[in-house]
Structure 1
Amino acid sequence: MKALIINCTLKASPEPSNTEALATVVAEQLAKDGVDVDFVRAVDLDIKPGVTSDAGAGDEWPPVHEKLLDSEILVIASPTWLGRLSSVAQRVLERMDAMMTETDEEGRPVAYNRVAGVVVTGNEDGAHHVISEISGALGDIGYTVPGQAWTYWHLGPGPGPDYVDDERGHDWSHKTGRAMAANLHSVARALADRPLGSPPG
């Protein structure tokens, strides 16, 4: 089984990413369960605006789209900015919109029988709002979003330290991240055993 974690930080490599640091907790638990985990830092790529799977010359989204189709588990990891998901996360979701009309050999939307979850970090409040927005979009695209398929970290409203600079709250965020990973893996296995069929006409 494969998992893809798309880190939607605004920080280009090799700058350290708080969001990737927390997402790594989820990745490590998935790996313990035998899942092959791959990371993509979307900001490092030239992802064109649009709602297609291939926007033409220079677009670096198509290889990410192939990774999505090759993975049973997806995690969208985003920082919180101004109480909202990052602009990079929004761009990723807009490009994933194309998957709503792409079908597999049995006529199912290509996101069917795949599971997804959300990781959020930020030194301001808004994590539940970001989780809701991303989870809702993933459900629209066709992913199954299990119960408690998220984790987040922040220290309350207003500005503050970064995740990698402050140990407060890590125990809860890590425990929740490991539970998230377990739930994603369990539901992915259940769907593999009893997949969703084609939607009624």
Structure 2
Amino acid sequence: MKALVLNCTLKRSPEVSNTEALANEVVAEMQRLGVSTKIIRVADHNIAVGTKSDMGEGDGWPVILKELLDSEILIFATPTWVGTMSSMALKVLERMNGLYPAKDEQGRPVTFNKVAGFVVTGEEDGARHVVTEIAGALMDVGFTIAPQSYTYWNNGPGPGGKYLESDYRKDWSIEVAKAAANNIVAVAKALQVTPMPGMADNAL
């Protein structure tokens, strides 16, 4: 089983990403469960603006999309900016819009039987709102959302330090990350045994 982590930080490598630091807690637990994982920092790629799966020459999205389609699990990781997801995260969701017409051999959306989870960090609140927005968008294109499938960290009210610079309730975020990883993998395994039905299976 494979998992892809899309880190939607605004920082390019090798700059330190607080979002990736918390996502790595989910990754470590999935690896313990036998899942092969890969992290892609979206900002390191030239993701063209648009809503199709391929926007032409120079577009970096098709390579990422192939990794996504080859994985059973997607971990969507983003910082919180001005109370919502990063602009990079929104760009990824817009590009996923291109998956709507894509079907597998059974007439199902190509993202059926794939499970999504979430990691959100920030010096401000808004994580639950961000998870709700992303989960809704991913369900629209066919992803399954496992119960309690996210972890987050924020500094609490007011300005303060970043995730890697603070010990504020990080133990909670890490424990929840482990639980989320277990829930996500459990649902992914269940879908391998009993996959989502195709259109022919739903025929009256």
Task: Give TM-score scaled by structure 2 length.
Answer: 0.96
Mapped partners of 1:169, 1:99: distance in 2? 38
Deviation, 1:159, is: 2.0
Name the SS of the counterpart of 2:13 in structure 1: coil
Name the SS of the counterpart of 2:79 in structure 1: strand
Equivalent in the alignment of 1:142:
142
What pairs with 1:1-201 in structure 2 (closer than 5 Å)? 1-199=1-199, 200=202
What amino acid is the match of 2:111?
A: A
1:74-100 deviations in Å (ceiling 9; x for gaps): 011000000000000000011111112
What amino acid is the match of 2:184?
A: L
What amino acid is the match of 2:88?
A: V
Deviation, 1:106, is: 1.2
What amino acid is the match of 2:188?
A: A
Unaligned runs of 5+ in 1: none
Count of aligned positions: 201
Task: Give TM-score scaled by structure 1 length.
Answer: 0.98
CA RMSD of aligned residues (A): 0.9
Deviation, 1:46, is: 0.3
- Residue pair 2:155, 2:162 contacting (<8 A) in 1 also: no
- Residue pair 2:116, 2:145 contacting (<8 A) in 1 also: yes
Name the SS of the counterpart of 1:183 in structure 2: helix
Extract structure 1 runs of 4+ deviating beyond 6 A: none
Deviation, 1:157, is: 2.8
Deviation, 1:158, is: 2.7
Deviation, 1:57, is: 0.3
1:124-178 deviations in Å (ceiling 9; x for gaps): 0111111111111111111000110000001223321100000111110000000
What fraction of aligned residue pairs are identical, expressed as a percent? 51
1:8-35 deviations in Å (ceiling 9; x for gaps): 0001110000000000000000000000
Name the SS of the counterpart of 2:144 in structure 1: coil
Name the SS of the counterpart of 2:151 in structure 1: strand
Deviation, 1:122, is: 0.2
